[in-house]
Amino acid sequence: MSRKIRMGMVGGGRDAMIGAVHRMAAALDGHIELVCGAFSSDPDKSRASGADLYLPAGRVYGTYREMMEAEAGLPAGERMDFVSIVTPNNVHFPVAKAALEAGFHVMSDKPMTYDLDEALALRELVSATGLQFGLTHNYTGYPMVKEARRLVRDGSIGRVRKVVVEYPQGWLARLEEATGQKQAGWRTDPAQAGISSCIGDIGTHAENLMEYVTGLSITELCADLTTFVAGRRLEDDGNVLVRLQQGATGVLYASQVCAGEENALAIRVYGEQGGLEWHQQEPNTLIVMWADRHREVRRTGVGDLSAAAQGHTRLPPGHPEGFIEAFANLYRNYALTLQARLQGAEPPDGLDFPTVDDGVRGMAFITACVASSASDRKWYPLKEA
Amino acid sequence: MSRKIRMGMVGGGRDAMIGAVHRMAAALDGHIELVCGAFSSDPDKSRASGADLYLPAGRVYGTYREMMEAEAGLPAGERMDFVSIVTPNNVHFPVAKAALEAGFHVMSDKPMTYDLDEALALRELVSATGLQFGLTHNYTGYPMVKEARRLVRDGSIGRVRKVVVEYPQGWLARLEEATGQKQAGWRTDPAQAGISSCIGDIGTHAENLMEYVTGLSITELCADLTTFVAGRRLEDDGNVLVRLQQGATGVLYASQVCAGEENALAIRVYGEQGGLEWHQQEPNTLIVMWADRHREVRRTGVGDLSAAAQGHTRLPPGHPEGFIEAFANLYRNYALTLQARLQGAEPPDGLDFPTVDDGVRGMAFITACVASSASDRKWYPLKEA
Amino acid sequence: MSRKIRMGMVGGGRDAMIGAVHRMAAALDGHIELVCGAFSSDPDKSRASGADLYLPAGRVYGTYREMMEAEAGLPAGERMDFVSIVTPNNVHFPVAKAALEAGFHVMSDKPMTYDLDEALALRELVSATGLQFGLTHNYTGYPMVKEARRLVRDGSIGRVRKVVVEYPQGWLARLEEATGQKQAGWRTDPAQAGISSCIGDIGTHAENLMEYVTGLSITELCADLTTFVAGRRLEDDGNVLVRLQQGATGVLYASQVCAGEENALAIRVYGEQGGLEWHQQEPNTLIVMWADRHREVRRTGVGDLSAAAQGHTRLPPGHPEGFIEAFANLYRNYALTLQARLQGAEPPDGLDFPTVDDGVRGMAFITACVASSASDRKWYPLKEA
Amino acid sequence: MSRKIRMGMVGGGRDAMIGAVHRMAAALDGHIELVCGAFSSDPDKSRASGADLYLPAGRVYGTYREMMEAEAGLPAGERMDFVSIVTPNNVHFPVAKAALEAGFHVMSDKPMTYDLDEALALRELVSATGLQFGLTHNYTGYPMVKEARRLVRDGSIGRVRKVVVEYPQGWLARLEEATGQKQAGWRTDPAQAGISSCIGDIGTHAENLMEYVTGLSITELCADLTTFVAGRRLEDDGNVLVRLQQGATGVLYASQVCAGEENALAIRVYGEQGGLEWHQQEPNTLIVMWADRHREVRRTGVGDLSAAAQGHTRLPPGHPEGFIEAFANLYRNYALTLQARLQGAEPPDGLDFPTVDDGVRGMAFITACVASSASDRKWYPLKEA
């Protein structure tokens, strides 16, 4: 008999942003139930947050260590199945490690860890425990990203020549971290964010999207990172030339200081026969262009889309699905995969989600960009170790 | 102490469409818990649907009458608080009536009833019982629709002169009802849908949006309804001239046979000083135009939007919210209003949702359109009784 | 031997708008030479305008009558071949009549005449003289309008069901005619414009486009015309339901008071198999939608367009052509047709331009709209006489 | 007394593309008259082309040398004033040199010369003769590019931080030069095009646009040029990181192998207070975004645009102007400046056009990109000598 998967959460208290997204994403399809949490490093805030979420007081914990221990002691039919980690970057690894060691599956926000060494250690730990690890590179959850990936993979647009991924944001065009804005605070703080702000926070999404859609790995890169806002401690902008497998080339840029931009992630892929263009802010549309015929506007829910696209769409055509729905696709896939596993069944087909390997690549990308930017050498390898 | 609001559902079984939307919308924000349902007039299908939703078998009912009776007999701390009605039109009124008479609050899909007489009776019943009644004219839940409404209401664009609402769909361009497609089947069946298919199903959304945004009632109209697809029993297309209060004029058209269109609801409002344009398929954007300066692109989450728009947005700029989120805004507002009521508190501010009065207007609109189309008289009054 | 066609102009002096457009359109392709003009009813202004245009003083006339007479007296190798009429509406007919009677071909701005009687008289005169008459319903000159027309005519989108043409402008949202603005002045003056401002000036373009693209004539209509701006003497807004041949229905609306709109003419045509959408402000794009496959974005210069579209495009893909180019297509077609005629050759294939018959239909449309709006009768026939 | 400026043309015969554009651009505003030409290196084709253009046979020359000599011998009131050079790149310099030495002013297509040495020599020659030299970096002729430039120059968007210029085309995605396509032939032939195809043909437009709009010079760059199509002799794709004056950074990429793209030049400029976005394929629109308020859509002809934008617009709002109109702006400015000079008057204000200095920068940019791409050095200076 199937049952709802039980989720515990670490982070995501009252003034957090991404925690609420994870909760809505987990709730959307009805397969996951939030049963407990350690929502803040401040126990009072954690308790207040738990009450907001209608959780019983006994399942709201002051620290993640307390949560791991208490939950592990509950009966199998009650205790959480997995931990959702929605903290600042520096806390990802310790929580993931504690959870895995306590026997809990893990779903973590990105970038996966504070640095590449932690990422490699985490990969080993996941492998050793055999537990299920998911990473919320949520943009891969959009149906039309799945469609794009399929059109590359099945050869529709021919061998890939060129890829452009742009990710301009404008929210850090001023020194927001000086105003007490919490999101700005930790994302620009080397102690919490790691060696990078812009590339770490959004450049890794761009890298993940580029590799996910094309199926090609970045092999070397040439980065120019800049800190534009005076007083900021990490870079807030990056322009990167990339070279990928099979002779493809590319451009990737990300910025937090493109004043007036919202969250304008976009990808263009050009192959020998045609090209693809997708914009995150208009996610239900995929432009498909051809060397010798009219452009197509592929739309979520319309016509002969790939099984992958259809399988990640909930509504009929013209009923826009957005960020939360794409995020929820990861959670649904994670939950149904876990459900199958708990029942000793084969994981369902086509329900992919990013894994610890994607996390390692993301950390390697950050590391290479920062090193490249500081170097006079033109091309810098993207190596995982 | 706040608690989750408990929802029972009538309709929305395995092969339904809108029931799943209601469930996702109700689940999104975590204020509502689905506790029971009578998901189909076929008891086996109802049970199977309940199991899909992880409901205990004892709370899955074979008929809505059974559900009303059984739930009314449960302890106050267990039984459902309200019924969500997601059946074909002809069942709306009987279920709503049974629920209200059993003391349950109601959230109903639209159009509110099978005909205008039922609508008027329902309004009386809601009034008599004092229970909370909501109607899912979901397009009013979009933040930028709230923003548009505010820009009209506060005089920003000046006195309204002209309103255009268009609602082209293409899914019934062929005789889908002959293929066994369930949605097409009941929506074109006079016994289930009522006197209208196109105007009843989507024309009423257009009417509701027009009146919601402008704050002006349609006073008279001139309709030309057509059944384009041979063999269809109700109209599948309508063009309507409208006149509104305060001398405003307008055009409203809806169609189910605009081959190639998805769900392209759009509104344009022109006042003495400026105009507004909003498209449901790109819902996070509101175009605001001015007689004498540059157009603005107002975007969800950006800048100095109205409190109403901000209060119905969950995510930062550039993180698209869609159909389910807008739908969820109605459910959240309904739930938080009900929560306050159950606690004896004042309803929270700014959390509006469509009511039985909107439902009456919708039924009056359908009635007037059908009558006008059959008449040689140019202008037909839109009267509620 | 081919030679340039020689054009004389009536109207289009220094403070006119459309005269300059006609001159640029005529000059663009190099087949037409401006040789003379009577540019204003004020002889001084006419002379100054002629000097601006580098015309010899002897070919700049004080009145159109003087011009007809003087030019008729010049040697065949010098005198103008045709007259371009770019005056207010009330002057169209007298000038056209004088030109035709003096043996000159005519190209006229629209609406063709001041009233329907003049239009019928002009049609007879054109027929009697056998001279070439063109009318600048310039929107038919766009390549993607040609493409749309072809996709309807060859059955690609199936039998036409519904047509929507919208033409919102905002430039008369205030009482501009009170400010001395010349364009506003004559277009809202019944003595110069005729019985209509909005329908006469732009509604006729909408009507012409609807009939040109669909190949179907409007048979009856139901109009609601309004004068929104206090003090204005003619209507500035109109909403019209239309019925066309072969059972098609439609909506046509035009407005001069949609504050914030520029010149947003657009057409949508829906047939049994698919639909078309074209916007004049983005004229190089035609959206083609299908009942059961992805939308196409057809673009000027790209792929397998119709011969008609290709024959009216000058540039490679992505090099936008605009209003003047479309206008120039009419002038080019007119000139090459006239060139062939002067050489006794067959007119070249595919070089269509609107004729006196289009002009008669336009005047009949204006007449019917004004009559319909004043009537209680629902449907009003569009009759040419 | 003003008179039309007389133009002679070198190149632009029957199967050329850009020559016709120059002729339409020159003709549009009526200030320039085509009086002679050497349209092809094949004298028969030159004669046939001249006849197409209604030129007297005596003014159609077999070679440009013949043209310079014959025209120089004509009376002052007849001979051409300037030469328009529309040949392949390798012929630009010889013709320009011959024209200047014969005392004629020059308007040349870009890139200015075959290599940087020729560019420097040409600059000296222009300086020595004092004659007027224009270069058709035509994209600077668009009104909204003028508006963008003004918004940067007057500080509206604050100090510039980041600039992105993209120029994807797809027309050379296959080995078109092997099919006999003339445009592909010479543009990929090192003997005619120079050391670069993609950067030389369109990358220079991107560079020119970047510097024109921002007012900042590129100081160093890092280029990755690729030849994707097997058998091609010059690069067909380039990705370039750039650094500009005042600490700004940027990305510039151009490609001829982005299958499905037309001519999708676009620029985005981000400053401390806001950003700008302009797309050549929708040239009448400029997006202006702000750090803390709603985006504006600035449109040609609407509202309070800069004098520069207004001065390069011919039509009212919503009447799209395109590629030819922008090109014509250069010709008009060139002609009116020359007219003033010929009358001994001050050149009119605000009528700018690209000069020999822009041409030198373009050739230096090409040279630096090719050298950078071949180098292991990360940053390569953009030096003019």
Cα separation, D320 vs C282, in Å, equals 7
Mean pLDDT calculated for residue range C216-225: 98
Task: Identify the CA nearest to B7 among candidates B75, B85, B70, B74.
Answer: B85
* Most B CBs within 10 Å, among C165, C239, C242, C369, to test the B interface: C239
Cα separation, A30 vs B32, in Å, equals 12
Chain C residue with minimum CA distance to A296: C296
Contact C296 A299 (CB under 8 A): no
Contact residues on chain B for C259, CB-CB shorter than 8 A: 157-158, 270-275, 289-291
Asked if residues D4 and D30 have their Cβ atoms less than 8 Å apart, the reply is yes
Considering chain C, what percentage of its residues have pLDDT values greater than 70? 100
Lowest-confidence pick of A21-25, C1-5, D356-360: C1-5
B380 in contact with C at a CB cutoff of 8 Å? no
Overall residue count recorded for chain A in this entry: 385
3-state class (DSSP) for residue D225: strand
Asked if residues C39 and C66 have their Cβ atoms less than 8 Å apart, the reply is no
Tokens of C369: 């709209």
pLDDT at residue B349, rounded to an integer: 92
* Most D CBs within 10 Å, among C14, C172, C262, C312, to test the D interface: C262
* Most A CBs within 10 Å, among D151, D152, D160, D162, to test the A interface: D162
Cα separation, B346 vs B354, in Å, equals 18
pLDDT at residue B195, rounded to an integer: 98
* Most B CBs within 10 Å, among D294, D296, D300, D305, to test the B interface: D294
Tokens of A343: 């029942």
State the burial class of residue B364 (Cβ atoms within 10 Å of its Cβ: 0-12, 13-18, 19+).
Answer: buried
D partners (3+ CB pairs within 8 A) are: A, B, C
Pairing of strands C32-38, C5-11: parallel
pLDDT-based confidence at residue B385 (cuts at 50, 70, 90): confident
Model confidence at B1: pLDDT above 80: no
Considering chain A, what percentage of its residues have pLDDT values greater than 90? 97
Cα separation, A202 vs A216, in Å, equals 19
H or E element in which residue A370 lies: helix A356-373
Model confidence at C1: pLDDT above 70: no
User: Which domains does chain D possess?
Assistant: 5-135+329-354 (3.40.50.720), 142-313+360-380 (3.30.360.10)
H or E element in which residue B243 lies: strand B237-244
C302 in contact with D at a CB cutoff of 8 Å? yes
The count of other CB atoms within 10 Å of the CB of residue C29 is 19
Those residues whose C-beta lies under 8 Å from the C-beta of residue A322, and which sit 6 or more positions away, are A283, B284, B319, B320, B321, B322, B325
Confidence (pTM): 0.97
pLDDT of B285-323, one tens digit each?
999 999 989 999 999 999 899 999 999 999 999 999 999
3-state class (DSSP) for residue D229: coil
H or E element in which residue A133 lies: strand A133-135
Amino acid (1-letter code) at residue B181: Q
Asked if residues A278 and A264 have their Cβ atoms less than 8 Å apart, the reply is no
pLDDT of A85-143, one tens digit each?
999 999 999 999 999 999 999 999 999 999 999 999 999 999 999 999 999 999 999 99
C271 in contact with B at a CB cutoff of 8 Å? yes
Contact residues on chain D for A260, CB-CB shorter than 8 A: 270, 274-275, 288-291, 295
Mean pLDDT calculated for residue range C347-359: 96
pLDDT of B239-274, one tens digit each?
999 999 999 999 999 999 999 999 999 999 999 999
Contact C298 A299 (CB under 8 A): no
Cα separation, B221 vs B248, in Å, equals 12
Mean pLDDT calculated for residue range C203-210: 98
C partners (3+ CB pairs within 8 A) are: A, B, D
Task: Identify the CA nearest to C242 among candidates C263, C279, C214.
Answer: C214
pLDDT-based confidence at residue A1 (cuts at 50, 70, 90): low
CA angle D326, D329, D330 (to 5 degrees): 105
- What angle in degrees, to the nearest 10, is found between the helix axes of D143-153 and D323-342? 70
At CB < 8 A and 24+ separation, what contacts does C67-75 make? C67/C8, C67/C10, C67/C36, C67/C37, C67/C38, C68/C98, C68/C99, C68/C101, C68/C102, C68/C104, C69/C102, C71/C8, C71/C36, C71/C102, C71/C104, C72/C102, C72/C103, C72/C104
Cα separation, C130 vs D3, in Å, equals 38
Mean pLDDT for chain A overall = 97
DSSP-derived secondary structure for D170-203: -TTSS-GGGGT-HHHHHHT-HHHH-S-SHIIIII
- CA dist list (Å): A350 to A135, A346, C121: 17, 12, 72
Cα separation, C28 vs C22, in Å, equals 10
Contact A289 D261 (CB under 8 A): yes
How many contacts, defined by CB atoms under 8 Å, are there between B and D? 32
Asked if residues B373 and B224 have their Cβ atoms less than 8 Å apart, the reply is yes
Mean pLDDT for chain C overall = 97
Instruction: Give start and end residues of each alpha helix (H) in chain D.
Output: 18-28, 43-52, 64-72, 89-101, 116-129, 143-153, 182-187, 190-193, 198, 204-214, 307-310, 323-342, 356-373
A318 in contact with C at a CB cutoff of 8 Å? no
Contact A320 B317 (CB under 8 A): no
Considering chain A, what percentage of its residues have pLDDT values greater than 70? 100
Mean pLDDT calculated for residue range A17-25: 95
3-state class (DSSP) for residue D162: strand
Contact residues on chain A for B262, CB-CB shorter than 8 A: 299, 301-302, 316-319
Contact C297 A299 (CB under 8 A): no
Longest CA–CA span in chain A (Å) reads 64
C276 in contact with A at a CB cutoff of 8 Å? no
Task: Identify the CA nearest to A32 among candidates A310, A350, A359, A330.
Answer: A330
Interface subset of B 25-54, CB within 8 angstroms of A: 27-30, 34, 53-54
Contact C294 A296 (CB under 8 A): yes
Mean pLDDT calculated for residue range B203-223: 98
pLDDT-based confidence at residue C292 (cuts at 50, 70, 90): confident
Model confidence at C385: pLDDT above 90: no
Contact B296 D299 (CB under 8 A): no
Report the residue from D27, D301, D324 with minimal CB separation from C325.
D324
Model confidence at B77: pLDDT above 70: yes
Each residue's pLDDT expressed in tens, for chain D with a length of 385 residues: 689 999 999 999 987 889 999 999 999 999 999 999 999 989 999 999 999 999 999 999 999 999 999 999 999 999 999 999 999 999 999 999 999 999 999 999 999 999 999 999 999 999 999 999 999 999 999 999 999 999 999 999 999 999 999 999 999 999 999 999 999 999 999 999 999 999 999 999 999 999 999 999 999 999 999 999 999 999 999 999 999 999 999 999 999 999 999 999 999 999 999 999 999 999 999 999 999 899 999 999 998 999 999 999 999 999 999 999 999 999 999 999 999 999 999 999 999 999 999 999 999 999 999 999 999 999 999 998 8
pLDDT-based confidence at residue A385 (cuts at 50, 70, 90): confident
pLDDT at residue D1, rounded to an integer: 60
Asked if residues B318 and A139 have their Cβ atoms less than 8 Å apart, the reply is no
A299 in contact with B at a CB cutoff of 8 Å? yes
Cα separation, D103 vs D106, in Å, equals 10
